[in-house]
Amino acid sequence: MSSSFDKVKSTLPYLGVGLGLRREVAAETFEAGHVIDFLEVIPEQYLCKGGDTRERLNKARASMPLVVHGLNLSLGGASPLDQEYITRLKTFVQFTDAPWFSDHVAFASLGDLYLHELLPVPFCKETIEHMSRRIKMVKEQIEKPFLIENTTYYMSMPGSDMTEPQFLTELLEEADCGLLLDVNNVYVNSVNHGFDPFLFLDQLPLERVVQIHMAGHLAKEDIVLDTHGAPIADPVFDLLRYVLSKATVCGITLERDQNLPPFDEILAELSAIKIITAEAKQAKTSLELEKRP
Amino acid sequence: MSDRLHDLEKLLVELWFDQAFAGKAPDIDDLPDYARGQIDLRRLAVYSNVLRENHLQVLQGIFPRTRKLAGQEWESLARAYCLALPQLTRNNRRPDHFRMNNTGAYFHAYFLANQKALAEKYPFMSDLIQFEIVQAELAESDQEVSYSIENDSAPTVRALARRQPLVNPVLRLLHCRYDIPALIDILDDESRPQTAPALEPRQVVLVAARNPLNYRVRVVEVNDLTALLVQTARDSNCSYLDLVAVASEHCALAKDELTKHCLTLFADLHEHHVFVGSKELIGS
């Protein structure tokens, strides 16, 4: 890693295995604080809100470490960055004391029109220039380490002339930020666009991965949708094992947004991720011991 | 880049929106040269579906009972509103992910202006829409409320003159043409027949206020005089005694009886968190 981000990453704490905080299971989440290492909060769910929403955030902040994962920056959008949002986001990141914050490689609004979805961008040099400029502006203003997340794309965008790994690699280098690697998104895209997800991972600068997202998806007739509404599929666990064998990360988050199961099932998934994490750590330690003269 | 990216994003959003909310499938011949041959129309429809579902979910979250009332007509109503939304929000409060309720902020005005047939079929739907958006906005309001319990159950006239009621800032007064709480009871009754509820017009005034202790929004029906007093207390720095004077202009009760009546009313307003405390008037 020939960047200043390696220094930044080396200062970040190891948080462990965490959960995306959701209103519907907030009470169970706080009760299970002893087995959840950290929480990921979505700022848009708390900005400009009081009442029990604010109370939930205060409780989360008092319970365990938080990381901030935003939806609204619209980094790939052609419309100007929303300064009001960035100002509020900065205050929010400071309030949560999050060691880093993240958003997506996507656009989410067009002018005054908010789209309620993360939409893909063309994979090309021009997008890299456009997005890296915006990422640098965000980094400068928020003054915390920033990660971008690889997203799903169900259609290739006109104007794309690079592969996704080429695009992400150049964007990460140009913007000099970290990667929030959504392993489920890699799997979903690999099925929808017919590529080998392991080869895909080999082409990414995995040393820039700070956080990993794990989630479930929905396989339909001719497409796989990233729903966060199902248990994590086995191939996604396999990809996690693969990434952890090659990279050191600071945190792994389980995202579950729909079809919420009994909370025990969520805890069981967290436990499965923890086992894989421990095995990867063990394997790395053994390897290092073997290498010693 | 920004111009080209903007053109592309604009084109795609238009195609997605047309397909999602107007059911208009894109015609490949209408696409600009740079996009022709590069857009997979089948995959384009995936995003149209996702956008439609997400928009409808947001609206359903804000208007659960309106959706119940509209039944099978809900989807076409919501789709038509979503299609009109870009126009409605232009140069206005824009909906976004941290102000999700803004997505429903124009629904009432849109309904009144564009949904005459549905308004005739369900004359109480307009009131219900307004009620639901108010509830959603109050529930999420970031207004700070400092709450204190009133201990003085039998204040002197002097005390009434020097103290001012503090009105809950997370409160709205609603004037409805139908008894909306009764309508909600009907809609929430799962055993009711799936036909349009029969409801006679009845002017009601509702006070919706968020309880500062448990954050639940509670709705109470009030009479015109109470509504006037709440409004007066909210809009001016008046004492309790000033409110009694306002009441005397609209009520034929004898002075002592009126004061007693008002004291009971003030206690009720405190109990329902319409008033959230009192403060000493400056110079009193």
Contact B46 A154 (CB under 8 A): yes
Q: Is the pLDDT of residue A48 over 90?
A: yes
State the CB neighbour count (10 A cutoff) for residue A87.
12
Q: How confident is the model at residue A162 (pLDDT cuts 50, 70, 90)?
A: very high
Q: Is the pLDDT of residue A1 over 70?
A: no
**Burial environment of residue A22 by CB neighbours within 10 A (0 to 12, 13 to 18, 19 or more):** buried
Provide, as residue numbers in chain A, all residues whose Cβ is less than 8 Å from the Cβ of B103: 114, 116
AA identity, residue B202: R
Provide, as residue numbers in chain B, all residues whose Cβ is less than 8 Å from the Cβ of A223: 43, 46
CATH of the domain at A152: 3.20.20.150
Q: What are phi and psi of B48, to 5 degrees?
A: -60, -45
Provide, as residue numbers in chain B, all residues whose Cβ is less than 8 Å from the Cβ of A122: 5, 8
Sign of CA dihedral B137, B175, B127, B86: negative
**Burial environment of residue A196 by CB neighbours within 10 A (0 to 12, 13 to 18, 19 or more):** exposed
CA distance B220 to chain A (A): 19
Pairing of β B217-222 and β B204-210: antiparallel
* Whole-number pLDDT of residue B144: 87
Q: Note down the domain range covering A38.
A: 5-291
B114-121 — which CB contacts under 8 Å span 24+ positions? B114/B80, B114/B84, B115/B77, B115/B80, B118/B70, B118/B73, B118/B77, B121/B196
Q: Are B174 and B134 in contact (CB under 8 A)?
A: yes
* Whole-number pLDDT of residue B283: 65
What's the maximum distance between 2 C-alpha atoms anywhere in chain A? 63
Pairing of β B171-176 and β B204-210: antiparallel
* Whole-number pLDDT of residue A11: 97
* Whole-number pLDDT of residue B96: 67
Q: What are phi and psi of A104, to 5 degrees?
A: -110, 155
The beta-carbon neighbor of A110 closest among B9, B100, B215 is B9
Q: Is the pLDDT of residue A142 over 80?
A: yes
Contact B94 A51 (CB under 8 A): no
Q: Are B96 and A72 in contact (CB under 8 A)?
A: yes
Q: Is the pLDDT of residue A238 over 80?
A: yes
Mean pLDDT of chain A: 95
Query: Residues A215, A21, A35, A17: what is their CA dihedral angle, to the nearest 10 degrees?
Result: 50
Mean pLDDT over A98-120 rounds to 93
Query: In sequence order, what are the residues at sequence separation of 6 or more whose Cβ sits closer than 8 angstroms to the Cβ of residue B86?
Result: A112, A113, B17
- DSSP 3-state of A187: helix
Q: Which residues pair with residue A102 across a beta bridge?
A: A69, A147
The beta-carbon neighbor of A155 closest among B43, B143, B214 is B43
Q: What are phi and psi of A98, to 5 degrees?
A: -65, 140
Q: Are B68 and B183 in contact (CB under 8 A)?
A: no
Nearest to B222 by CA among B161, B261, B281, B174: B174
H helix intervals, chain B: 2-22, 41-62, 64-70, 74-89, 107-114, 116-121, 125-140, 157-162, 180-188, 224-235, 240-248, 255-271
pLDDT tens-digit profile of B119-142? 999 999 999 999 999 999 999 999
* Whole-number pLDDT of residue A244: 98
Q: Which residues of chain B have pLDDT under 50?
A: none
Domain residue spans in chain B? 1-141, 155-284
Query: Residues A239, A245, A251, A256: what is their CA dihedral angle, to the nearest 10 degrees?
Result: 20
* Count of domains for chain A: 1
